[in-house]
């Protein structure tokens, strides 16, 4: 087993403002661990976590991919960015943290060069105005308020992911049943030739969580 990153430096006060790792986080770690050998053979140049929160996932990826990979972590919450930096230091993984809304300011410079992307989005269905306010406030609410079908924020990212992924890249997406995973899979394959496979599922209270891995159906990009 790959050890869970050390988060002992984060306090209850941190978690009042930053999403605390929970079942969805740990399911994503399990998926990465299950793919660890394949990920190691990729010799990934760039790893990107969108919505890094505590930095747990990025630090975990660092233990799989090794020091030669460039690690980028983004979040809209400046306190989350601070936690991510501290988690990188605590676990001796060099994380480059950027406060930004999704990847809008990043993808022109990263076009088709990211080998591994992890995204645990705000997937909880809410009213659209609540999601917009949460994103504007850039606080902890932005980590869960997902709008209509829980897809309001996720869809923004899915519309640019093909501009980020390298030809052999992988996207690991956390989703719940209410997000309509089959529709996401069909749309991504139809529009971008990114085929989605459900790697793991788990029930956590009322949530039916899944990790979906997307890869190109052929090595060449459109």
3-state secondary structure string across the chain: CCCCCCCCCCCCCHHHCCCCCCHHHHHHHHHHHHCHHHHHHCCCCEEEEECCCCCHHHHHHHHHHCCCCEEEEEECCHHHHHHHHHHHHHCCCCEEEEECCCCCCCCCCCCCCEEEEEECCCCECCCHHHHHHHHHHCCHHHHCECCHHHCHHHHHHHCCHHHHEEEEEEEEEEEEHHHCHHHHHHHHHHHHCEEEEEEEEEEECCEEEEEEEEEECCCCCC
Q: Is residue 30 part of a domain?
A: no
Handedness of CA 8, 51, 21, 77 (dihedral sign): positive
Task: Report the chain's mean pLDDT, rounded to a whole number.
Answer: 90
Q: Is residue 26 part of a domain?
A: no
List, for residues 79-92, the tens digit of each pLDDT value: 999 999 999 999 99
The two beta strands, 194-204 and 207-216, are antiparallel
Q: Is residue 220 part of a domain?
A: no
List, for residues 21-73, the tens digit of each pLDDT value: 999 999 999 999 999 999 999 999 999 999 999 999 999 999 999 999 999 99
pLDDT at 222: 47
Q: Is residue 35 part of a domain?
A: no
Q: Is the pTM of this model over 0.85?
A: yes
- Reported confidence tier of residue 129, pLDDT bands at 50, 70, 90: confident
CA distance 131 to 146: 6
Q: Is residue 123 part of a domain?
A: yes
Do residues 54 and 18 lie in contact, with contact meaning Cβ atoms separated by under 8 Å? yes
* Domain housing 65: 48-206
> Is the pLDDT confidence value at 172 over 90?
yes
Q: How many domains does the chain have?
A: 1
- Reported confidence tier of residue 148, pLDDT bands at 50, 70, 90: confident
CATH at residue 78: 3.40.50.150
> Is the pLDDT confidence value at 147 over 80?
no
pLDDT at 133: 65
* Mean pLDDT computed over 166-181: 95
Q: Is residue 197 part of a domain?
A: yes
- Reported confidence tier of residue 161, pLDDT bands at 50, 70, 90: very high
- Reported confidence tier of residue 17, pLDDT bands at 50, 70, 90: very high
* Mean pLDDT computed over 160-181: 95
Beta bridge partners of residue 198, listed in sequence order: 212
pLDDT at 221: 47
pLDDT at 116: 98
């Amino acid at each position: 087993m790959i050890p869970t990153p050390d988060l002992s430096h984060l306090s209850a006060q941190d978690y009042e403002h930053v999403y605390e790792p929970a079942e969805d986080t740990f399911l994503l770690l399990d998926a990465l661990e299950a793919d660890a050998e394949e990920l190691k053979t990729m010799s990934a140049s760039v790893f990107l976590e969108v919505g890094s929160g505590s930095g747990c996932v990025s630090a975990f990826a660092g233990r799989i991919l090794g020091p030669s990979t460039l690690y980028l972590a983004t979040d809209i919450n400046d306190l989350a960015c601070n936690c991510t930096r501290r988690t990188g230091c605590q676990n001796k993984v060099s994380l480059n943290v950027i406060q930004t809304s999704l990847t809008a300011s990043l993808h022109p410079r990263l076009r088709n060069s990211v080998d591994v992307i992890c995204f645990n989005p705000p997937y909880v269905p809410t009213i659209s105005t609540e999601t917009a306010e949460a994103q504007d406030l850039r606080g902890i609410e932005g980590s869960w308020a997902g709008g209509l079908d829980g897809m309001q924020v996720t869809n923004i990212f899915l519309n640019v992911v093909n501009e980020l992924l390298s030809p052999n890249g992988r996207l690991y997406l956390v989703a719940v049943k209410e997000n309509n995973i089959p529709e996401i899979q069909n749309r991504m394959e139809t529009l971008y030739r990114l085929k989605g496979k459900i790697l793991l599922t788990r029930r956590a209270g009322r949530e039916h969580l899944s990790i979906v891995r997307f890869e190109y159906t052929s090595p060449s990009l459109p």
